[in-house]
Amino acid sequence: MMILLGCMDIDLALRMPKPDELNEESTQEHEVYWGKWERSNRLSLMIMKRGIPEAFRGAVTDEVTNANDFLAEIQKRFAKNDKTETSTLLASLISMKDKGKGNIREYIMEMSHLASKLKALKLELSDDLLVHLVLISLPAQFNQFKVSYNCQKDKWTLNELISFCVQEEERLKQDKTESAHLASTSKDKGKRKNKDNKVAASNGPEQKKQKVEGCLSYRKPSDAERCIYVGDGTGLLNVYDNLYLLETVPSYNETLHVESRDFDICVECIKGKQTKTKKLGANRTTDVLELIHTDICGPYPTASWNGQQYFITFIDDYSRYGYLFLIHEKSQSLDVFKTFKAEVELQLNKRIKSVRSDRGGEYYGRYDGSGEQRPGPFAKYLEECGIVPQYTMPGSPSMNGVAERRNRTLKDMVRSMISHSTLPKKLWGEALKTAAYILNRVPTKAAAKTPYELWTGRKPSLKHFHIWGCPTEARPYKPHKKKLDSKTVSSYFIGYAERSRGFKFYDPAIRSIFETGTTTFFEDVEFGGRNQARNIVFEEEEGSTIAFDNVQVSLPIIDQEVNLDPQPTDNIVQPLIANEDIAPEEQTQQPQENMPLRRSTRERRNAISDDYIVYL
């Protein structure tokens, strides 16, 4: 603004103070000067009000008619705190780092400019301190230059430091165009070179070392010499013409590529040393249902509570939210996928784009008589829906690593849960569902939020989590319950209700599963009175794996049947004892005899047992 008004020659009101008002004693020169100042003040004020935003223009009252006063009022709106500005400048000065890409002179002058600003704010930095700050911020290629400065007794001024740094920068630029190499001999000594090569090969590395030690000339490689070619067309190493001193290359921060030419490929070596190629890293999706990982585990010798021997998982790649279904056989995978697809697409209002699985027969298809794998019902259904299938290569289950790792985690959790409890092995299906329920609501390394939050948009609640297999006193719904019947049933917690807000329990007395939301958990009670956990072995059934399934996994199996028999309780839950046989006649209830009512002669006890501590 000042430059604009100066170019228009109307900045008199900004440079000179306001003259006295005109009166009868005013001279003609005073009148002329007053007119020029008044015109300059009026035009300057109009231009400044027009050039600034309305928000700042409205902050100044209309009573201000002097251009200088108007500028002073605007400047108050942009007043700075000296302490804040000092802290900002000092932090910028200390954190400055030269990346070695720009001009070193401009970089040092920029640091000097920040020091000058700090000096104007009454924070003066000495030249010695500024020199040390500059040296500390220099890149790694100036390390030798720093050592040279530290070895000297004299101190450098800032101007001397700039001069020396510029010289060092020029030297580094010159070194980048030079390379160390062996000086080749003249052509008339070619026969002598071939003779020396044979002597060096017969006498071992010591003779060869003597030949190399004579090289003292070196230069940096040019752009056309970035590659080192070993061999002269016959497959023999030419020591004198093509050997570079590679030990000198790292000091120049150069990367040289070594390429072999005209060497025959050894097929026998490939047959004996070929390894699997492993691709590191994967591209993550950016939204839910863009990619679904799926896999089937089973069969297992011991069927679950409802007779299933397999389970199938569907994991979303973006959120890592997983669905788990228990199935009787692998052919049910398509029906389960249709159920899963209909639910998630309706709930999320999005469509599944890709499905990644192995090349098992239940996904890809069976082999025909010619040995070719034909697309099966699952693959044809994906094609009808427009879903892109992604199959793993044969013998490479790691390509479906998300599903494989999820299955392993689920089985590890089930193994620990059953080992810690005293429940029968047929409940591994309920433990599996509980493990999947927990994994959806706990943090994962693959995402910044929990899978449940990425899937539903709401944060999960963990208040209703309880120890799997712990004793409980649950109150089921009994419409025909008698007046004096017990309100609760001694049972064990085995999971969370799928379609309602409640829990699932196992009643060992009648060997049934029921759901209810009214219960009392006893999570501090030792399970079964055991001193150590059971040794649970999970294995797949030998010889019953479906053909063409590349995925081999294991599932929890308990060695022997566990029969549970509840002990009589008197308002106190007793843990169940494992491996205890139950006779069928012991479970039948004896009919009660009609006896006259009488008062109890038992000793009165407190409602709260001494086994618990009550905090009032």
For 424-438, write each residue's pLDDT tens digit: 989 999 999 999 999
| 313 pLDDT higher than 60 | yes
> Mean pLDDT highest for which of 22-26, 39-43, 246-250?
39-43
CA distance 337 to 389: 13
* Mean pLDDT of all residues in 288-308: 91
CA distance 107 to 64: 45
List 260's β-bridge partners, or say none.
230
Q: What is the pLDDT of residue 95?
A: 84
Q: What angle do CA 592, 594, 597 make, to 5 degrees?
A: 110
Domain positions in the chain are 1-78, 82-176, 292-456, 470-521
Other Cβ atoms closer than 10 A to 224: 6
Q: What is the pLDDT of residue 109?
A: 87
pLDDT tens digits for 119-174? 888 888 888 888 888 888 888 888 888 888 888 878 888 888 888 888 888 888 77
Q: What is the pLDDT of residue 226?
A: 52
pLDDT tens digits for 492-513? 999 999 889 999 999 999 999 9
- pLDDT band for position 327 (50/70/90)? very high
CA distance 555 to 311: 10
Give me 469's structure tokens. Answer: 């297999």
Those residues with Cβ within 8 angstroms of residue 483's Cβ, 6 or more apart along the chain or in another chain? none
Q: What is the pLDDT of residue 82?
A: 73
Nearest to 364 by CA among 382, 353, 379: 379
Contact in structure between 322 and 440 (CB atoms under 8 Å): yes
β-strands 489-496, 471-474 pairing:
antiparallel
Q: Does an H or E element contain 227, and which? A: strand 227-230
Return the biggest CA–CA distance within the chain: 136
Contact in structure between 350 and 287 (CB atoms under 8 Å): yes
**Range from 42-46, 453-457, 571-575 carrying the lowest mean pLDDT:** 571-575
Burial of 286 (C-beta count, 10 Å sphere; 0-12/13-18/19+): exposed
CA distance 309 to 414: 15
- What's the sign of the alpha-carbon dihedral 412, 360, 302, 537? negative
Q: What is the pLDDT of residue 268?
A: 86
pLDDT tens digits for 63-89? 677 777 777 777 776 666 677 878 888
The phi-psi region of residue 312 (left if phi > 0; otherwise alpha if psi is between -120 and 50; otherwise beta) is beta
Those residues with Cβ within 8 angstroms of residue 540's Cβ, 6 or more apart along the chain or in another chain? 298, 299, 300, 552, 553, 554, 555
CA distance 375 to 365: 4
Contact in structure between 357 and 391 (CB atoms under 8 Å): yes
Contact in structure between 361 and 376 (CB atoms under 8 Å): yes
List 557's β-bridge partners, or say none.
537
Give residue 326's identity as a one-letter amino acid code: L
List 489's β-bridge partners, or say none.
474
Nearest to 410 by CA among 300, 544, 545: 300
Is the omega angle on the peptide bond into residue 205 within 30 degrees of 0, that is, cis? no
CA distance 287 to 386: 18
Give me 174's structure tokens. Answer: 């010159």
- pLDDT band for position 519 (50/70/90)? very high
Q: Does an H or E element contain 200, and which? A: helix 190-203
**Range from 298-307, 332-341, 424-433 carrying the lowest mean pLDDT:** 298-307
CA distance 404 to 294: 9
- CATH code given to domain 292-456: 3.30.420.10
> What string of DSSP letters covers 299-345?
--SS--TTS--EEEEEEETTT--EEEEEESSGGGHHHHHHHHHHHHH
CA distance 178 to 173: 10
Contact in structure between 433 and 495 (CB atoms under 8 Å): yes
β-strands 388-391, 354-357 pairing:
parallel
pLDDT tens digits for 195-224? 555 444 444 444 444 444 444 555 555 655
